[in-house]
Amino acid sequence: MPGKNKKILVATTNPGKIVELKALLEADVKWLSLADFSDIAEVPENGLTFTENACKKAIGYAKATGLWTIADDSGLVIDTLEGGPGIESARFCGQICEDRKLIDHKNIAKVLKLLEGIPTEKRTARFVCSLCLASPEEILIETQGTLEGLITEKEIGEKGFGYDPIFFVPHLNKTVAQLTTEEKNAISHRGNAIRKLKPLLTALI
């Protein structure tokens, strides 16, 4: 059984996710990221659901490092695109490169093009986040969180990452890219998934 000061690996390459996860988890552990392991093989995200992918990543990196590992798989689910881009959210534009801002912009452009002419009431969508904590032997915790909203017709706001500038939250009358980190964490899919995971993690460590 782990004691205090346990090391936990946050298995993501997305800096936006790392900031949000560390800010919200606040557990008495030492956090490591994939940047702390130079030659670790990438675990493929070839599952069919967010949960399957989060669990594959968590158990894969836990086995590779010997550490308890938290992985996130998340994305944007748009009703009029029959759930797309879904698990393809990170590479919806068909490209992948180091420049995340550029890819985010291309992904957003593709969504806006596909939704051209679709009226506001049919632009319903949700962000979904699945989290998984695994040891090298087994899956320990799985949680999921969502955030409901509408896809805008253009980019609004500069904060956050990914699809935040086109995701409008009606009760706040703002896109997620107009929210501070604290405001986003309070309502977001990742925030909601982390809030479910936190007491379960605390009970384990």
Q: Which residue is nearest to ligand ITT (CB)?
A: 162
CB of 158 to ligand ITT, least distance (A): 13
Q: What number of CA atoms fall less than 13 Å from residue 70's CA on the CB side?
A: 28
Nearer to ligand ITT by C-beta: 60 or 160?
160
Q: Is 73 a catalytic residue?
A: yes
CB of 152 to ligand ITT, least distance (A): 13
Binding site for ligand ITT (CB under 6 A): 12-14, 17, 45, 72-76, 89-90, 107, 127, 160-164, 188, 190
CB of 199 to ligand ITT, least distance (A): 22
- Answer for the pair 103, 93: CB distance below 8 angstroms, yes or no: yes
Nearer to ligand ITT by C-beta: 73 or 142?
73
- Answer for the pair 108, 92: CB distance below 8 angstroms, yes or no: no
Identified catalytic residue from 73, 79, 104, 164: 73
Q: What is the 3-state secondary structure (H, E, C) of 3-46?
A: CCCEEEEECCCCHHHHHHHHHHHCCCEEEEEHHHCCCCCCCCCC
CB of 139 to ligand ITT, least distance (A): 17
Nearer to ligand ITT by C-beta: 72 or 142?
72
CA atoms of 109 and 90, how far apart (whole Å): 13
* Positions marked active-site: 73
